[in-house]
Chains A and B, each alone.
Chain A
Amino acid sequence: MAVLNLAGVSKDFGATKAVDDVDLEVPEGQLACFLGPSGCGKTTLLRMIAGLEEPSAGTIRFGEKDVTQQPAHRRGIGMVFQSLALFPHLDVGENIAYGLRIRGTPKQERDNRARELLGLVQMPGVERRHIPQLSGGQRQRVAIARALALDPQVFLLDEPLSALDAKLREEMQVELRMLQQRVGITSILVTHDQREAMTMADMVVVMKDGQVQQVGTPLEIYRRPANVFVAEFIGSSNLLKGEIVAGDRVQVHGHTLRVESMPHGFASGAEITVSVRPEEVGLCSGEETRENGLQGTITFIRDVGQNVEYRIDCSGLEITSNVPPRDKPDVQLGDRVTVELPADACVVLA
């Protein structure tokens, strides 16, 4: 187990920068999620940590040790691949013990280790089964057991759950997270699914175009997105374009809003975007005067069970509000309503 440290890591493929100057530290025993749309460089960054891809610049350290120049098989990593990459010609036990066999570990010891790991992933007694006989979820577990067989310092997972159907996937997210905490291994999970990242990560690293956009706990990322991209990519958000009037006031589409915290470095008149999560947006029937209150007409209602979504047209500005079913106001399509954008929920972004 070790701290993982990246300093100025870059990767160029010809003229394109797949990964651009990434600095990052993952504390010992924590799970970091690389999150971003496809092509954002998250997989390339993971492969550089694995030693499967060579950085164009920068250093990678496991603890005190600089591993930048070390090939994959000397780094002490365990990796779960997107395709799982189980060896189809070997049975479950042989798959798990492959790394041990190469090191010349005696058969008895290999068998013990395989049994132990299968117990860890809650699949005891399947050593002699063949890969095609296993279900998707079982293969997943075998791949995880195999990656942990050599007691790696760093555990790397490249979208390992993407092949599973939605329900199994949710179950595996929880199970994998519990396993990771039990083993206490420094881990990195690559995913494009923000829900998966929120479920599993100690820290989320949001990436776009090869660059890190924001690093933080899932809640920080959600509550305090660093920029428009993060706000849009993580969950959904009302993004309102406007400009700073003065102090803690911003002007959006002809309305003046007060915001609780104003980031430094913005002068009056600067163009900004205000992000408000739909579940923070208050909604009441009729036209009332409130702080940060806007009047509008309901154009769309959708009740998806866990909450009710309203879209309100406030003289050309569309606001979405999510309300829990219990707090559902008594309003119909076409009603005039007031929406409230609480000052402490308004995040000002560049």
Chain B
Amino acid sequence: MIQRSLIILFMTVIAAFLIAPIIIVLGISVNDGRQLYFPPEGFSLHWYQAMATESDWRASIEYSLLIAAVAGLVAVSVALPLAYALWRYGMLYAKILFGFGVTPFMLPPVITALGFMTFWATTGNYGQIENVMIAHGMFLVTLPLMTIALGLESTDRSVVEAARTMGASESTVFRTIILPLIRPYIISGYAFVFVLSLNEYIIAFMVAGFTVETLPIRIFNSLRYGYTPLMAAVAVLFVAIAVVVFGLFARFGNLPRLLGRWEPDK
């Protein structure tokens, strides 16, 4: 019994630690005045309205969403053929390429950030929005690579051969069998990139931080040059997006499996 209460206490403390900043941000975002107070002074949702009306914040939200959406596409477009080629043909070259794809995410992001910064400084294309899209896509390509590889691994290989014996060409097999089977894994890979790109700071900052102010950059800048509850409101928006996306995974997919839980029955 004591053991059980200790366990509950431990889990509660961890949960409280993880949720505390979110509650603070939520509280600040409903402050009535310009000052940052917690507990909030007065209650108002006008900071949430301000996200849409204050043009520079709105621009940042739009930048961030656009970058995240395109970065997801970039990442999936690279990950899908690579993971499929590795699974289908198992070549050493594909393995090496897969290794390259997994590396950036495991390294400190500042390295990738500086790499891209020097790259675009050299090619003379510094400060463009597409830099951020590509940089995020390539930095986060690890995630769809992992999810798609996981999806392919759980696919019975003889399904491909069965389709082949029934007259399907390689591309028909891919289109009619593989793609429908791994669609959930592709979508979750995309969603991971989307959410993490929204929240990424250092790469976006070093690649185009002075011209394309994404939301994290704008929040950081306003931390230095004058706080406003607006940033808390934006942070709440981001948390909400993450909860909704991962909640959808949980609702329509098998989240524990996606995160590597071993399933004894399969």
Between B165, B168, B177, the greatest number of chain A beta carbons within 10 A of the residue's beta carbon is seen for B165
- Chain B residues with CB below 8 A from A73, complex form: 164-169
- Contact flags A96-107 to B (C-beta < 8 A → 1, else 0): 001101110000
Residues of A close to B180: CB separation below 8 A: 89
- Given A99-B167, A102-B166, A103-B167, are A72 and B181 also a contact pair (CB < 8 Å)? no
Residues on A with beta carbons closer than 8 Å to the beta carbon of B177: 87, 89
* Contact mask for chain B residues 159-179; partner A; CB cutoff 8 A; 1 contact, 0 none: 101111111110010001100
A82 to B162, CA, bound (A): 11
**Most chain B Cβ neighbours within 10 Å, of A72, A78, A86:** A72
Pairwise interchain contact B159-A85, C-beta atoms closer than 8 A: yes
- Does B156 count as interface, using CB distance less than 8 angstroms? yes
Beta-carbon contact of B161 and A72 below 8 Å: yes
Cβ-defined contact, A52 with B165, below 8 A: yes
CB distance from A155 to the nearest CB of B (A): 11
B162's contact among A51, A79, A102, by CB below 8 Å, is which? A79
B158 at the interface (CB under 8 A from A): yes
Supposing A85-B156, A89-B180 touch, asked if A52 and B161 sit within 8 A by C-beta, the answer is yes
| Cβ 8 A contact of A85, one of B158, B167, B172, B176 | B158
The answer, yes or no, to whether A88 is at the interface (CB within 8 Å) is yes
B residues 230-250 near A (Cβ < 8 Å) are none
Binding site for B on A (CB under 8 A): 50-52, 71-75, 77-79, 81-83, 85-89, 98-99, 101-103, 146-147, 149-150
Q: Closest chain A residue to B177 by CB distance? A: A87
Q: Which B residues from 130 to 167 make CB contacts under 8 A with A?
A: 156, 158-159, 161-167
**B161 contact from A74, A81, A88, A98, Cβ within 8 A:** A81
Contacts known (A83-B156, A85-B158, A89-B181); A98 close to B165, Cβ less than 8 A: no
CB-CB under 8 A from A83, the residues of chain B are 156, 158
List the B side residues contacting A101 at CB < 8 Å. 176
> Could you give 28 example pairs across A and B, Cβ below 8 Å?
A50-B161, A52-B164, A73-B167, A73-B168, A74-B167, A77-B165, A78-B165, A82-B158, A83-B156, A83-B158, A85-B158, A85-B159, A85-B161, A86-B159, A86-B162, A87-B159, A87-B163, A87-B177, A87-B181, A88-B181, A89-B177, A89-B180, A98-B163, A98-B168, A99-B168, A102-B166, A102-B176, A149-B166
Q: How far is the CA of A75 from the CA of B164 in the complex (A)?
A: 10
Among all A-B residue pairs, the 10 with the closest Cβ atoms: A99-B166, A85-B162, A85-B158, A81-B158, A73-B167, A89-B180, A79-B165, A72-B164, A85-B159, A72-B165
Residues of A with C-beta under 8 A to B164: 52, 71-73
**Which residues of chain A come closer than 8 Å to B166, judged between CB atoms?**
73, 98-99, 102, 146, 149-150
Q: Name the residue among A51, A71, A102 with the largest chain B CB count within 10 angstroms.
A: A102
Contact of B167 among A82, A86, A102 (CB under 8 A): A102
Which residues of the other chain, B, contact A82 by a CB distance below 8 angstroms?
Answer: 158
Instruction: List the A residue with the shortest CB-CB distance to B162.
Output: A85
Measured in the bound complex, the distance between the Cα atoms of B165 and A73 in whole Å is 5
Inter-chain CA distance A88–B183, complex, in Å, is 13
Chain A residue numbers with a CB within 8 Å of B165 are 50-52, 72-73, 75, 77-79, 147
* A281 CA / B181 CA spacing, docked (Å): 58
Report A-chain residues with C-beta under 8 Å of the C-beta of B172.
Answer: 102
Q: For residue A87, give the distance in angstroms from its CB to the closest CB of chain B.
A: 6
Query: Chain B residues with Cβ under 8 A from A150's Cβ?
Result: 166-167
From B168, which residue of chain A is reached at the shortest CB distance? A102
19 further A-B pairs in the complex, CB-CB below 8 A; given A50-B165, A71-B164, A79-B161: A51-B165, A52-B164, A52-B165, A72-B161, A73-B167, A73-B169, A74-B167, A79-B165, A81-B161, A85-B156, A85-B161, A88-B181, A89-B180, A98-B163, A98-B168, A99-B168, A102-B168, A150-B166, A150-B167
Residues of chain A with a CB closer than 8 A to B181's CB: 87-89
**Alpha-carbon distance A284/B164, docked complex (angstroms):** 61
By beta carbon, the residue of chain B nearest A98 is: B166
Most buried by A among B161, B162, B164: B162
